[in-house]
Structure formats: structure tokens, C-alpha cells
Amino acid sequence: MEAAIRAQKLTKAFGTRKAVDRVTFEVPCGAFLSIFGPNGAGKTTLLRMLSTLVRPTKGEAWLMGIDMREEPDCAREHIGLISHNSMLYPDLTAEENLMVYARLYGVHNPEQRVLDMLEAVELKHRRHDVVRTFSRGMTQRLSIARALIHNPDVVFLDEPYSGLDPHAVEIFDELIDAQRAGRTFVMVSHDLRKGFDMCTHALVMAKGHIVTFDEKGNLDFGEFADLYRATVGMGVS
């Protein structure tokens, strides 16, 4: 089976500084990869390259077998992105926002798909309300619907829990769990415990390099936390 993601010596430089330096790894289809590291480690830059938002300086990457440097538009058809930035239009309604993205991706029967996704994220009753009236948790739930509207194979999550209250976190967890079957997830997280609990594979970065990358089944959390502290000089909180 083709790996969902393959990165080969992937590098991103900003001037003389290499934010990501010769990173190589593979993510199997259906896996959940959590990426950890301190600020400035290169986590978000790596995610942005893998989601085609940033072009690498050197190296290669493939998503669902597609060369992301040669065919970025084709790769984007397979990608969903969820972050602390909702990428929603605040003055449009929930339904209008999803319709924009459904039509952008050429979704078949977009009206029904929009209604189905609003129901999945428990916002169908607010479909005619403008997004600027939504709470942070509701906005994030709608951003999940936006990211999944075209049924992507790979979903990227960049610190998706930022700013969510405990109840919103619980709802978000349930929504992600319901969408995991048949999809590959890649999440950048500062929360070592939560990111470790959710993942099937864990990757730690520091100074643009991979410190460790392994299946969770090969890692004990206590030992993993000790390795993280020793490597990047941070705690597990």
C-alpha cells in the first residue's frame, strides 16, 4: 500500500536559517501522526510544506503517491486543514461558508453534503447564522466541517485545541474520533500527553531536525516524555 505521506530530505530555509533541515519519514495510510517540539523546532513549517501552503527549498514529498512539488493542485484535492485559524468568512452564514468550499472543490450534490456536514458537527440548527456570532468552540466545529467537506484522505491539524474550553475540547475530540476511519491525520501539538494519546505514530523535532520518529506501540509514554525533556529541554505540560 502506498504511504499516505513520504518526505525525503525535506528542507525549508528562510535566508540562512533552516527551519526544517533534511527531514525524511513516511506516514502509513490511516495513521495518526503527532508532531512535538518546542517553539522554533520547525513543526508548523513542516506541516505547511506537507499541506502545500509553503514550497520546500529542497527535498521531495509525496501525498497519496502524488509529487507535491510537481502537482500541488492535485495533492490539495486530497488535503483537509484544521488550525487555530478557522479559514471561515465571518460575515457569511455557516451554510454559506461550507457552500463556498463545496463548490471550490467541485463536491457532488453540494447542498446535501453541506447539510450532512452541518449535522455531523451539530450545527444544523445554526446554519443560517453568521459565523461572527459563533463561540470559539462552534467556530472550530464548523472549521472541521469545512476541512472535511470534500472528504479528504489526509487531514492536517495545527494546534487545533488552541483557545478551546474543556467542553469544546470534548466535542472536538468526539468529532475527530468519528472521522478517523479511512483517513490519515497529522497534528502539531504542544500537549505531549494528549498528542501521545491520540496518535499511532509520534515525531519529535528540535532545531529543524527529527529527534525521534516511531510507532506508539514501540514507545512507553514515561520513557517518551523523558526523551522529550532530555532532547528539547522542555516539560510535558
The whole model's pTM is what?
0.91
Please say whether the beta carbons of 196 and 221 come within 8 A: yes
Between CA 117 and CA 121 the distance in angstroms is 6
C-alpha cell at 55: 514550497
Between CA 146 and CA 80 the distance in angstroms is 8
Mean pLDDT of 202-228: 92
Q: What are phi and psi of 235, to 5 degrees?
A: -85, -170
Kindly report, residue by residue over 13-69, the tens digit of the pLDDT: 999 999 999 999 999 999 999 999 988 899 999 999 999 999 999 999 999 999 999
Judged against a pLDDT cut of 70, whether residue 235 lies above it is answered with: no
Between CA 27 and CA 5 the distance in angstroms is 5
Please say whether the beta carbons of 95 and 118 come within 8 A: yes
Judged against a pLDDT cut of 90, whether residue 232 lies above it is answered with: no
Going along the chain from its start, the domains and CATH numbers come out as: 1-76+184-237 (3.40.50.300)
* Residues pairing with 32 in the sheet: 185
Q: What is the pLDDT of residue 19?
A: 96
C-alpha cell at 28: 502509513
